[in-house]
């Protein structure tokens, strides 16, 4: 029993065909069966996005973020940075965010 949170536990019985379907849907959503059952019971349905194709884009964003942090660190050390450099960085970052939003809005989703 959890110490700080009250919980309610229920036993649910499935026949083998129902359980196979639950396992199939949970695997399609990339969830454990218990997590899948809990989400469906609470929310009724949820949307699953396959994010495997997004990983290279996210890694690129992480690299750019790292570069921005290095530039900010150097600017703080020298107490000198040009406004044009900041605007260039901001414009590039906004463009990346826009492209990421367009990419994510075009991702196929699966209602589970």
User: What ranges make up the beta strands (E) of the chain?
Assistant: 47-49, 109-111
Domain co-membership, 33 together with 77: no
Q: How far is residue 33's CA from residue 53's CA, in Å, rounded to a whole number?
A: 24
User: Which pLDDT tens digit goes with each residue over 3-26?
Assistant: 677 888 888 899 999 999 999 989
Domain co-membership, 17 together with 39: yes
Range of the domain at 38: 1-45
Q: How far is residue 19's CA from residue 111's CA, in Å, rounded to a whole number?
A: 19
Domain co-membership, 10 together with 58: no
Domain co-membership, 102 together with 67: yes
Adjacent-strand bridge partners of 48: 110
CA 72 to chain centre: 26
Domain co-membership, 39 together with 61: no
User: Which pLDDT tens digit goes with each residue over 58-80?
Assistant: 777 788 778 778 888 878 888 77
The answer to whether residues 45 and 112 touch, using CB atoms and an 8 Å cutoff, is yes
Domain co-membership, 68 together with 103: yes
Domain co-membership, 32 together with 57: no
- Number of domain units in the chain: 2
Domain co-membership, 26 together with 69: no
Domain co-membership, 107 together with 68: yes
User: Which pLDDT tens digit goes with each residue over 50-63?
Assistant: 677 777 777 777 88
- pLDDT reported for residue 19: 95
């Amino acid at each position: 029993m959890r110490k700080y949170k009250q919980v309610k536990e229920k036993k649910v019985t499935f026949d083998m065909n129902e359980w196979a379907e639950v396992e199939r849907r949970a695997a399609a959503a990339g969830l454990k069966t218990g997590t899948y059952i809990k989400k469906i019971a609470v929310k009724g349905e949820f949307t699953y996005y396959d994010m495997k194709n997004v990983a290279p884009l996210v890694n690129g964003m992480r690299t750019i973020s790292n570069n921005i942090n290095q530039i900010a660190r150097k600017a703080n050390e020298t107490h000198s940075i040009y406004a044009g450099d900041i605007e260039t960085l901001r414009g590039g970052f906004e463009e990346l965010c826009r492209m990421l939003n367009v990419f994510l809005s075009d991702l196929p989703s699966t209602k589970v």
